[in-house]
Amino acid sequence: MRLAILGAGGFLGSHLLERLVLDGEHDLRAVDISADKIAGVESARLEVTVADLGASPDLVDDFVQWSDAVIDLVAVANPSLYVESPLDVFELNFMKNLDVVRSCVEHHTRLIQFSTSEIYGQPTGERYLEDESPLVMGPVSKQRWIYGSAKAMLERVIHAYGLEDRLDYVVFRPFNIIGPRLDYLVPAGTLGGPRVFAHFMSALLTNGPMHLVNGGTVRRCFTHVDDAISGVLATLDDPRANRQAFNLGNPDNETTIRGLAELMVDLYTELTGSHWTNELVDISGEAFYGTGYEDTNRVPPDVAKLRALGWRPDRDLKQTVRDSMRYYL
């Protein structure tokens, strides 16, 4: 198969590309504005392009026309940015991705689209179910929700093209996937910026404080990146996946954010023999991210759909966090 990976230089893209190159089964083209995270990934069947797809619309068509399937990972996925630059989030996560969707429709190319767990918004049940759970966004005045809203609208457009028989697709909704190359580290005491794992890792490495936003009581399911990539690959050749959305997360790895902090502190001692001696500091969402932030207490994903294709996430929470920490250490 000819596969084009848009956004291949990001966290998930770099892991996906690495695995596809290792499997050696496909012809690959990869594109991103930076190729730093895929610098060591090489193959005679891989062509890497460093370019801004947003600034060169013809390039999108070029990749789509060449491919049997396009894997679209172009996005920002960092809550700080939703609060700071909501219009940029809309432009990239909706408008740019819409160009990709339309190009796939025009050239009859299959689309594998990365969406987000955030489209569910505030939970209304025990589990998020792909085809049943309502999408409950917060108020417009809390601009954090522009990200989930943009991704949800993109999914609705993709679904509608599928209904008209004009697009074959698979959609993934990732749940807090972590691993090597996730995010950048920050100086001690930084507010906002990267996602929670990188903040806590930075605190451990600098012996700085860990901030628990609103007490760290909300829950997330942290998923090992290797398990997530296996989930994506499980759908590649399976016709049952066509025109379906899949939760991509490990429901068994649920913890509170405080629980994640405590686990990382313990693992730091186990891995380094040193002790982190700073403290967990409670902080409001507003003070940490700025006005317009609102949090969500996510429930675990139901992953029966992906399991039915043979997928089994088998890294538990401790291994998932330990493997991610080892990379940064």
Q: Which stretch binds ligand UGA (CB under 6 A): 101-109, 154-162, 170-178, 309-317?
A: 170-178
| Least distance (Å) between residue 15 CB and ligand UGA | 13
Q: Which stretch binds ligand UGA (CB under 6 A): 89-97, 131-139, 214-222, 227-235?
A: 214-222
Is 138 one of the binding residues for ligand UGA (CB under 6 A)? no
Single-letter residue type at 50: V
Name the residue nearer to ligand UGA (CB basis): 114 or 311.
114
Q: Tell me, by CB under 6 A, how many residues bind ligand UGA.
A: 21
Name the residue nearer to ligand UGA (CB basis): 218 or 233.
218
Name the residue nearer to ligand UGA (CB basis): 65 or 256.
256
Is 220 one of the binding residues for ligand UGA (CB under 6 A)? yes
CA distances from 191 to 194, 196, 218 (A): 9, 11, 18
Between residue 61 and residue 120, which ones bind ligand UGA under the rule CB under 6 A? Answer: 77, 79, 116-118
Compute the residue count for the chain: 329
| Least distance (Å) between residue 249 CB and ligand UGA | 8
Name the residue nearer to ligand UGA (CB basis): 45 or 127.
127
Q: In this chain, which of 218, 233, 287, 309 binds ligand UGA, going by CB under 6 A? A: 218
> How deeply is 54 buried, as exposed, middle or buried, from its count of CB atoms within 10 A (0-12, 13-18, 19+)?
middle
| Least distance (Å) between residue 45 CB and ligand UGA | 29
| Least distance (Å) between residue 295 CB and ligand UGA | 5
Q: In this chain, which of 15, 96, 181, 211 binds ligand UGA, going by CB under 6 A? A: 211
Is 229 one of the binding residues for ligand UGA (CB under 6 A)? no
Which residue among 128, 147, 161, 169 is the active-site one? Answer: 147
Single-letter residue type at 245: A
Name the residue nearer to ligand UGA (CB basis): 49 or 78.
78
| Least distance (Å) between residue 30 CB and ligand UGA | 21
Ramachandran assignment for 34, one of left (phi > 0), alpha (psi -120 to 50 degrees), beta (any other):
beta
Between residue 232 and residue 261, which ones bind ligand UGA under the rule CB under 6 A? Answer: 257
Six token digits for residue 82:
């939703």
Site string for ligand UGA, 32-61 (x = CB under 6 A): ------------------------------
Q: In this chain, which of 8, 81, 92, 196 binds ligand UGA, going by CB under 6 A? A: 196
| Reduced 3-state DSSP string for the chain | CEEEEECCCCHHHHHHHHHHHHHCCCEEEEEECCCHHHCCCCCCCEEEEECCCCCCHHHHHHHHHHCCEEEECCCCCCHHHHHHCHHHHHHHHHHHHHHHHHHHHHHCCEEEEECCHHHHECCCCCCECCCCCCCECCCCCCCCHHHHHHHHHHHHHHHHHHHCCCCCEEEEEECCEECCCCCCCCCCCCCCCCCHHHHHHHHHHHCCCEEEEHHHCCEEECEEHHHHHHHHHHHHCCHHHCCEEEEECCHHHEEEHHHHHHHHHHHHHHHHCCCCCCCEEEECHHHHHCCCCCCCCCCCECCHHHHCCCCCCCCCHHHHHHHHHHHHC
147 in catalytic set: yes
Between residue 280 and residue 309, which ones bind ligand UGA under the rule CB under 6 A? Answer: 285, 295
Is 176 one of the binding residues for ligand UGA (CB under 6 A)? yes
Identify the CA nearest to 60 among candidates 182, 51, 160: 51
Task: Kindly list the residues in this chain that would bind ligand UGA in the complex (CB under 6 A).
Answer: 77, 79, 116-118, 147, 174, 176-177, 195-196, 199, 211-213, 216, 218, 220, 257, 285, 295
Catalytic residue numbers, as ranges: 147
